[in-house]
Structure 1
């Protein structure tokens, strides 16, 4: 029963993000967490603060607005004090340059008492990097920006 509840909450979170409400996901993070997106591109990196995660989501939606997630699998194991979740999700979004970005995402989460303590996101980075390169070539310089980390950027 607990595993079904967690799986339903994960599916709901992806639906919320697809509707543009990524803040609900940020609120689901524990006070201390790790959010890691693998690769070497504008969306990669590791974050440990809610503010850095908010900056990351803002960037993600500036670069990939109206992103839609389709959840295929949610696997849950463990108990409320040590829950592990694995997802298989497709992402689909029309890019500002007129092309489409579609990819497969695998995400691994750890939770403790209903709060997310760790997220590891694995995506086909070659496909993502090509999409970011197309955006940069179309004038979206942020597509080539350094990854967002916990460090607060200097004021311009």
Structure 2
């Protein structure tokens, strides 16, 4: 029963983000967490603060404002004090330059007592980097900006 509840909450979180409410996800983070997006591009990097994570979501939605997530799989293991979640999610985006972007995102999460302590995000970075390159060529300089980490001011 617990695993079904967690899977439903994960699906609900992706639905909220698709609706533009990424703040709900930020509020779901524990006071101490790691949020890692693999790669070497404007959306990559590791964050440990809510401010840095908010700055990352703002950037993601500036570059990819009409992001739609379709949850394909949610696997849950463990108990409330040590929950592990794996997801496979299709992402479809109408980019701000008029092109489209589609990829499959795999996330691995750890939770403790209902709060997320770790997120590791993997997707085909070559596909993502090509989309960011198109945006940069179209004049969206932020598509080639340095990753947002805890050392980057939140207003950036």
* TM-score class, shorter: over 0.9
1:135 aligns with 2:114: no
Q: What do residues 112-140 of structure 1 show as CA deviations (whole Å, max 9, x unaligned)?
A: 00000000000100000000000000000
Gaps of 5+ in 1: none
CA separation in 1, counterparts of 2:154 and 2:5?
42
Consecutive unaligned residues in structure 2, runs of 5 or more: none
Superposed CA RMSD in Å reads 1.4
For the structure 1 residues 141 and 48, does the alpha-carbon distance in structure 2 shift closer, same or farther, using more than 3 Å as the test? same
Distance in 2, Cα, partners of 1:142 & 1:150: 17
| Secondary structure of residue in 2 paired with 1:73 | strand
Determine if the alignment matches structure 1 residue 22 to structure 2 residue 42. Answer: no
Could you report, residue by residue, the CA deviation over 1:37-61 in whole angstroms, capped at 9, with x for unpaired residues?
A: 0000000000000000000000000
State yes or no: 1:51 paired with 2:51. Answer: yes
Instruction: Name 1:61's counterpart in structure 2.
Output: 61
Aligned to 1:93: 93
Q: How many residues align?
A: 156
1:116 lines up with 2:116 in the alignment: yes
Partners of 1:154 and 1:15 in 2: CA distance: 25
TM-score (normalised: structure 2): 0.97
Hey, what does 1:149 align to over in structure 2?
Answer: 149
Alpha-carbon distance, 1:153 to partner = 2.9
